Structure 1
């Protein structure tokens, strides 16, 4: 078990960040082993047609199959709340060669592959080639999907940040994953290869939601990195769902209007007005007006959580969507 011990100021200094490199690292595993990353299987199938001609032997070396450890220099905890790809690649490129060698050897306890050996024996050339492969992988396989991923991550941070502020650490940390819990002023993560307690010592904890972390959590505690937990955000199961796969939105739009139907369909989990507006790319005032109409119609309910009201579908709202989906399915089979 790895435990992060909080002092007086650590909750105040706990922060969230988005990391393109965490997504890149996780996407390599999801692509290579889609059967173990079922949520991302639709993305992996799409990516398979785009990887032809792409060199990724060095990526495979720093994210080796079935490893108990992956080098931290490849995806360091970000310094900024919304890290940008080029800045993070520059950090990777300037990693101390000694650290690169140490971490690569640790990731290959049974001996280095040829690609891994390049990073150890000729770090300058190896790191240039690694960063070039990272950029090519991103451009081909992640950049076309980044807007959708980013919207989900920003929604997750907005909701969990409110949870931490309004309800407290137990609510914010306990559902980071099945292996994570808040107890006695500590965040505890069940781990196989580590048994340690990390005193945050006023640094706070960095929380990094990452779609491609599914179905796991990745605790980080080794110097020089800030203590961090990379975890699966809520809503990841819907990330690769085709738009209007069941044909319900068309019928609902005819009944309720397009924007109001979109609001109702988006309420698959309780959400505050501002977060819902961000997800839909709409104004908060407009979304609020639609929510009030749906609430008066008995399709939406609200409950207060701290300073915010969280909205969700009522039983009648769920039934309306089920009926619309069933009708669309029946029409498609005629």
Structure 2
């Protein structure tokens, strides 16, 4: 278990980020079967065969699972270092990866391979060879361009919405609210400690540096970057990855599929543009659904900067989950 000692200054210094490169690595975990697909079963069914063909043409895609996605502390960091903001593009991140010193890459790879047995000697030589960084960079670039980028607008909207929600919770109510539903493996312990269940152990003082919080659409557990060489970062599963329509047949019959989907997606506040991406409909069409839902008193809007964030009203909550009206 890691224990992070925090101060009031750490709330101010903490920030959120989105990483297309990290999500590319995470999607490979699902495509390779290292992680269960969870809500991404249809996505996996669509892209599993194209991925296997891509894997045959890129040695780096066959090498990456040997040093990533491991259950334990020995995973390479250079393949997807902590991101620096919410608007950093894949090209910028992959360029930064290519600048990683070969010595650092080899050191992390050796640590990752240490607990592994039965690694093919030829693959080990390549992993510790002079071209490994470029091989892996080409593999991640191919996986991004051929597969993940096709769904990125939808995934990005989910990540952005999670950040809006959680950043608001952190700013308004503090760590307890921001971490409350993040994961069963992350706890806020008053008056000033965050506990993270991991196989490694350590005590860390943030000392006003804050924490980098990185949501992922492919995560089912938390991960952490807690080495001195990196910003202290916590990777966690984003809210609202998949709205569950099958369990809301009656609601779909009452107000229609699109409006039901909007209500379900508004488990976290969202803008018209974000909802349009998630529903794969035009902003105009989504705007008409929003107007109807607002007119029925099911959702409300509140301005945040240049945007309007929509959320469910109590009546909307009751339609989605009738138990909310029960005493």
Aligned to 1:40: 40
- Partner of 1:9: helix, strand, or coil? helix
1:279 aligned to 2:274?
yes
Question: Given the superposition, is the C-alpha separation of residues 247 and 90 from structure 1 closer, same or farther in structure 2, using an over 3 Å criterion?
Answer: farther
| Aligned counterpart in structure 1 of residue 150 of structure 2, from 144, 150, 166 | 144
8 A Cα contact 1:104 1:116, kept in partner = no
* TM-score with structure 2 setting the length: 0.79
In 1, the alpha carbon distance for the partners of 2:187 and 2:295 equals 39
* TM-score with structure 1 setting the length: 0.77
8 A Cα contact 1:58 1:133, kept in partner = no
8 A Cα contact 2:215 2:238, kept in partner = yes
In 1, the alpha carbon distance for the partners of 2:156 and 2:301 equals 27
1:189 aligned to 2:189?
no
Question: Given the superposition, is the C-alpha separation of residues 24 and 242 from structure 1 closer, same or farther in structure 2, using an over 3 Å criterion?
Answer: farther
- Partner of 2:78: helix, strand, or coil? helix
How far does the alpha carbon of each residue in 1:66-89 deviate from its partner, in whole angstroms, 9 at most, with x for none?
Answer: 565321111110122222111111
C-alpha deviation, 1:187, in angstroms: 1.6
How far does the alpha carbon of each residue in 1:39-88 deviate from its partner, in whole angstroms, 9 at most, with x for none?
Answer: 33322221122121432223223326656532111111012222211111
8 A Cα contact 2:4 2:195, kept in partner = yes
In 2, the alpha carbon distance for the partners of 1:269 and 1:130 equals 35
Aligned to 1:252: 255
- Partner of 1:230: helix, strand, or coil? strand
How far does the alpha carbon of each residue in 1:146-203 deviate from its partner, in whole angstroms, 9 at most, with x for none?
Answer: 11100111111111111112222101012111100111312211112x1112211221
In 2, the alpha carbon distance for the partners of 1:75 and 1:6 equals 26
Matches within 5 A, 1:312-327: 312=313, 313-316=316-319
| Aligned counterpart in structure 2 of residue 226 of structure 1, from 231, 242, 246 | 231
Structure 1: 5+ residue runs without aligned partners? 254-260, 320-334
8 A Cα contact 1:210 1:233, kept in partner = yes
The number of residue pairs the alignment matches comes to: 298
Question: Given the superposition, is the C-alpha separation of residues 190 and 131 from structure 1 closer, same or farther in structure 2, using an over 3 Å criterion?
Answer: same
Aligned to 2:172: 166
How far does the alpha carbon of each residue in 1:21-56 deviate from its partner, in whole angstroms, 9 at most, with x for none?
Answer: 221121121112277333333222211221214322
How far does the alpha carbon of each residue in 1:133-153 deviate from its partner, in whole angstroms, 9 at most, with x for none?
Answer: 110111122011111100111
- Partner of 2:214: helix, strand, or coil? strand
Question: Given the superposition, is the C-alpha separation of residues 270 and 142 from structure 1 closer, same or farther in structure 2, using an over 3 Å criterion?
Answer: closer
Question: Given the superposition, is the C-alpha separation of residues 262 and 90 from structure 1 closer, same or farther in structure 2, using an over 3 Å criterion?
Answer: same
- CA RMSD in angstroms comes to 3.3
C-alpha deviation, 1:211, in angstroms: 0.7
In 2, the alpha carbon distance for the partners of 1:217 and 1:76 equals 16
Aligned to 1:327: none
In 1, the alpha carbon distance for the partners of 2:38 and 2:321 equals 26
Matches within 5 A, 1:1-334: 1-33=1-33, 36-51=36-51, 52-54=53-55, 55=58, 56-63=61-68, 68-109=73-114, 110=116, 113=120, 114-122=122-130, 125-183=131-189, 184-192=191-199, 194-213=200-219, 215-238=220-243, 252=255, 262-268=258-264, 275-281=270-276, 282=283, 289-295=291-297, 300=298, 310-312=311-313, 313-316=316-319
In 2, the alpha carbon distance for the partners of 1:251 and 1:186 equals 47
Question: Given the superposition, is the C-alpha separation of residues 14 and 252 from structure 1 closer, same or farther in structure 2, using an over 3 Å criterion?
Answer: same
C-alpha deviation, 1:267, in angstroms: 1.7
8 A Cα contact 1:59 1:134, kept in partner = no
Structure 2: 5+ residue runs without aligned partners? 277-282, 303-308, 323-327
